[in-house]
Structure 1
Amino acid sequence: MRADLRVAIVTAAGYPGDAAKYEERITGLLRAFQKYNLTEKLLERFYVLGGECNYLFRCGWKKNETTGETVVGLTYIQPESYQPASMLAWKMEEIQELLNVAEENLRRSVSAMNLKAAVLRKSRAVGIVPVDGAKIAREQLDECVLSTQQRLLEYQQMSAPSKVAIPFCVFNGGNDVFVDIGNKLIGVQVLQSYLGAAPEVTLHVGDQFLSTGNDFATRSSCCTLWIVNPEETESVLKELTPLLTFPVDDKL
């Protein structure tokens, strides 16, 4: 960020407008920002985009509502400020219809394969998560993904022509399966438009680039980097840092 780069975490985790939930997920990073007393100008270069593309937050200093102290946290950005008209046109009724179809297929898959899993429904997502410490095989997760993708595509093909085909993402999260409204391709494109970043200067780092992963779609909109663990991410950052240009007057 000192090199005037914008950094964003694009995650499938969806908590509508709930900054505290995302702050909890990246507590260590926010504490580090606070420890090094980063300026507001630097912090404003860091974003979190949740629900693939649905909930955008900007980092900055703010007052803790409980303690009253000034801390580094996230502030929700209203959709009208960054989402294109095509996204704002998605109707909640049609979103729920799509998720109903997805949920029905996921429940059928859980039953057919006798999976120890529960269905979790959110406002813009639905998925299955293991219960009682169960471990679901990758092949079973992939089967849930592929069958649900096919069912949703069939549903959209049979829908009335007047209905907008709402983009969706079905992905294998490693030990769960989720269907999200929108996808990371839209998320990356939204950020590129909002931040004024062209595809050739955008780098998306992810670990789900197989066809059943939610990073796969971003390959058509930017440079991508496939990693498998946090250690690889750290290694890549160490390689890229010497290539960056930092300001001489480092008072940011």
Structure 2
Amino acid sequence: MQYNELKNNLIKAIDVAKSMKKPEIEDNILIISDYISRSAGKILYIGLLSSGKKATLLTPTEAVLYSLPYYENFNKTIIFSMNPKDSRSVHAAEVSRVMNLEVEFISPKLDDTLEERLKYLGVKRIFINSEWPIITSSIASLLWIPKDLGERYERIKKEMDNLEGALDWLNEKYKSNIERIKKINEEFAIFYTPSTEAGGIYAYNILQNCAFALPIEFLKNKIKYRKILLTSSVDSSDFKDLIIMFKIDYTGNELIEFNTDPITVGLYSMLFISLISDKLL
């Protein structure tokens, strides 16, 4: 895919994200996402925490087995899914409804039997009608952050209004990193910090030679792969020891640090990965 085509596809994804119905954002929300849809869930989660709201991010199984039956203070459940046969997320919606929680289920169209089940349960549906549901839902999650952030919200909103230009500045700022990573023929490992988890998971889903994606703490382990670390200037201050170790470990490693708001870093790290893969998911 050529750069211009990638940019045009991003513009289409942005348009779809802006057209998606915004879920009602309340305090003390349970966010549920599987591994593939984790990027969108994590971006919304960080946005809610940063605005002072309580939020919990779990997988469908964690929510069903370890949280919903025992914790009665959630106000609603928001579920992200990318799998048309995602029975576990539908089961999480069912358990949430049994607990008398309002549920908003965000995904492309599921198999008919699962859609019928959600309708029967009274689950509110938000469809992702996009060729690139992962990036589209992640953009939407950023658009849905609460306005409680004050001036910070206005700054982020201004960035989002010019999101199609993000590929340009990312490509310019990290051009040498992108070119070097594109030339890697062997498998490599992606490591991420809390704010760049969305990009790390996205890399695992979209880059064929990404063997695995792990939190930065796993850098202490003896992993015999070339390593790429996605971090932010905010996160880096808390992981100085690991970053120093990373820099002296192997000259073929790539350190990518994003100097932007922690709320937007997740999406920018995903777009950076798309510049390497030349496609969106």
TM norm structure 2: 0.30
Higher strand share: 1
* Structure having greater relative contact order (Cα 8 Å, sep ≥ 6): 2
Task: Report the structure, 1 or 2, having the larger helix content.
Answer: 2
